[in-house]
Chain A
Amino acid sequence: MVASINRAEVSRRGFLRVSFAAGTGLLVSLYLEPRLSRGALAQEGNPQPPPQQAKVFPPDAFVNIRPDGKIAIQVNRLEFGQGVHTGLPMVLADEMDADWANVIAELAPAADVYKDPLFGIQMVGGSGSIAHSFQQYRELGAKTRAMLVAAAADRWKTTPDQCRTEASVVHGPNGQSATYAELASEAARKPAPATVRLKQPAEFRLIGKRTKRLDSPAKGNGSLKFGLDLDLPGMKVAVIAHPPVFGARVKSINDGDARAIEGVLNVFEIPLVKGSGVAVVADKFWPAKQARSRLQIEWDTSGIETADSTELWTRYRQLGQTPGAVATTRGDEKAIEKIAAKDRIVAEYEFPFLAHSPMEPLNTTVRFDGDRAEVWAGSQFQTVDQMAVAEVLGLKPEQVKFHTEMAGGGFGRRAVADSHVQREAATIAKRLRGTPVKLVWTREDDVQGGYYRPMHFHRVEIGVGPDGMPVAWRHVIVGQSITAGTVFESFTTKNGVDSTAVEEDAEHTRSARQTDCELARQTTSRSRARCFVS
């Protein structure tokens, strides 16, 4: 995805809070309200929370300085291999001068404070993890450090500029020193500076330095828990028999053999985002899967769009030769047509529908308690998925506590605008009120049941000049829009062009040397395959 969604200016205001939590002692947290309105800011000091205050869970956390010196840093997006679980804590810890050996990273739950500063929702995509939150995490670190230094300066009757910091310790001008943990409660009473000096690159201790991943040991000894490894008291496991074609509906179910399997608790039809399916709930995965294989289901496929690969490719190739919506042009867009055929290179590329196949099969766990719910999911789209679960359960998003689980890969498959996996899990959990249920998509479900990376056809015509270098370039992209019909469409699609489909090519043509170019694409249909590819 491109970073064009909601570039609304981020209003940053940080302050430290102190809170007490059983078992963990004093927590000092830098709390950031990314989009607090001016009205809310004016109410500072008012003990009543302003009505438009960001809904936050947990109430106060990017940084927790614990009494034992451990510093827990919340990571505002999914870790699924890209390393952000280490990268963002490095950025914050560097500016904070935190002792890296005592830094702990945690994946943040869904909350307004953890929204991507550029996208305006909590998500990861488009390789934006560090790019979007680099400045944010630097400022968080620097402000935390400034408050700790201010507390130390008070203690020693000196000024902050007389103090220096290193490895979670503030050093004073006369040989004094105090650890961050010792200063935490005093620092919590300091106002957060409105502006703060950030380090010069030469001062970086972690940024740009080779640093080992924080999650390496736990991923190498089997102790790290991914979403699929979740085990809750009383938890049940569900699998779904999805329709053989998108949108088909259950006509009849014979579940006698399925129910006969020991450990199977229930079998029932559930509505899907498109069509319907049959859920099997069991006390464990194996009986659920065995039971599913014994279901006899008759499907109603009437009125379902039928797709044929050969026909689709023929249509895409034809569209590749016709004018379409123009994503970007430079110079003479007709230049390519003036180049003699012998000086033109034409290349065509076919990208078929592809299953993303993240190593960890898709899964989501939900417990519905009537007036609230809890979700555990390796999600690239926390905000969207939380809203979807809330909608299914008839709750408000803030009544849905959404835990971000470590994910075994994603590649965009965990960023689906219709949140179909989370909706399925919520639909089953609604029926099993009070019981946590883990929905597991098997590998077959993922490969057979989509959603896929959409099929695309590229046709590139390049005019070559006398020196062998390109002088004209036309690049036509034909494919489905992954955002059409979703909440993202208004952000991503302008003049008929879905920017997510052309971003890389548009960049390349812009950077091409002295070349007249045109980049066009068309959307051919609005069905299926709505997945982001990161």
Chain B
Amino acid sequence: MAAYQLNVNGQRREVNVDPSTPLLWVLREDLKMTGTKFGCGISACGACTVHLAGVATRSCIVPISHIGDRAIVTIEGMAQDVVGQAVQNAWIEKDVVQCGYCQSGQIMAACALLKATPQPTDQNIEESMGGNLCRCGTYPRIREAIKTASAGILPAKGGE
């Protein structure tokens, strides 16, 4: 066991866990933040996606000892984020979710994409989101919602 100081959604949190513990399980079991989901444990499905220093990261394979002082942002922090709000609103507007289990990860991946590429093409979306699996097959609505969010964040220029 070792003590770790973490920056989670802008708040300082301290945990005392085994150094090998993946960030996912620290979030879920020590910090009781269950919005980040366990899907596979091997970085294959994307359900556990969080932002680590702004980068979409699979929290199920990052040991807590590797986090350092990098800021962690989870789905629970998205409501306080301008892009996060736009994406969450678009998700509701397009009624994206079905079972919903992958959607925290989808939204975290979509937010990371839009922060880096505010007006993504279909190809950008596929490249960024392709690793986030949805067993219900909500992909077409995810794509629509990303475009809706994009339009909300950066109104299209050109007078249309």
| Residues in A lying within 8 Å of B, measured CB to CB | 79-83, 212-213, 215-217, 219-226, 228-229, 231, 237, 262-263, 284-287, 290, 357-361, 406-411, 442-444
Contact partner of A220 (CB less than 8 A), chosen from B22, B40, B88, B134, is: B88
In-complex Cβ contact of A359 among B28, B47, B107 (8 A): B47
> Is B20 touching A290 in the complex (CB atoms < 8 A)?
yes
Q: Are A360 and B34 in contact (CB under 8 A)?
A: no
Q: Using a Cβ–Cβ cut-off of 8 Å, how many residues does chain B contribute to the interface with A?
A: 46
Which A residues are in CB contact (< 8 Å) with B69? Answer: none
Contact A213 B95 (CB under 8 A): yes
Contacts beyond the supplied A81-B98, A213-B95, A442-B41: 7 A-B pairs with Cβ under 8 Å: A83-B98, A212-B92, A215-B100, A228-B37, A263-B18, A357-B135, A408-B100
Shortest distance from the beta carbon of B109 to any chain A beta carbon, whole Å: 13
For residue A213, which residues in chain B have a CB less than 8 angstroms away from its CB?
95, 97
Given A262-B1, A443-B40: A359 and B99 interface contact (C-beta under 8 Å):
yes
Closest B residue to A82 using CB positions: B98
Q: List 21 interface pairs A-B (beta carbons < 8 Å), by A numbering.
A: A82-B98, A219-B97, A220-B88, A220-B92, A220-B107, A221-B75, A225-B34, A226-B37, A231-B34, A285-B29, A290-B20, A359-B45, A359-B101, A359-B133, A359-B134, A406-B100, A408-B99, A408-B100, A408-B102, A409-B136, A443-B41
C-alpha gap A331/B115 in the complex (Å): 64
Q: Quick check: B88 and A221 within 8 Å, CB to CB?
A: yes
- 8 Å CB contact of B79 from A221, A228, A360, A406: A221
B97 lies within 8 A of A443 (CB): no
B25 contacts A285, CB within 8 Å?
Answer: yes
Residue contact B135 to A228, C-beta cutoff 8 Å: no
- Cα of A226 to Cα of B101 in the assembled complex, Å: 8
Within the complex, what minimum Cβ distance (angstroms) separates A239 from chain B?
11
B17 to A, closest residue via Cβ: A286
Residues of chain A within 8 A (CB-CB) of B33 are 222
Q: Closest residue to A231 on the B side, CB-wise?
A: B32
Is residue B74 within 8 Å, beta carbon to beta carbon, of the partner chain? yes
* In-complex Cβ contact of B92 among A80, A216, A224, A284 (8 A): A216
A217-B98 contact given A222-B76, A359-B45, CB 8 Å threshold: no
Q: Which residues of A contact B107 (CB under 8 A)?
A: 220
The answer for the CA separation of A348 and B103 in the assembled complex, in Å, is: 38
Could you mark each residue 2-30 of chain B with 1 if its beta carbon is under 8 Å from any beta carbon of chain A, else 0?
A: 00000000000000011011100100111
A218 shortest CB reach to chain B, Å? 8
- Contact residues in B for A410 (Cβ distance below 8 Å): 99
Q: In the docked arrangement, what's the CA distance between A286 and B99, Å?
A: 25
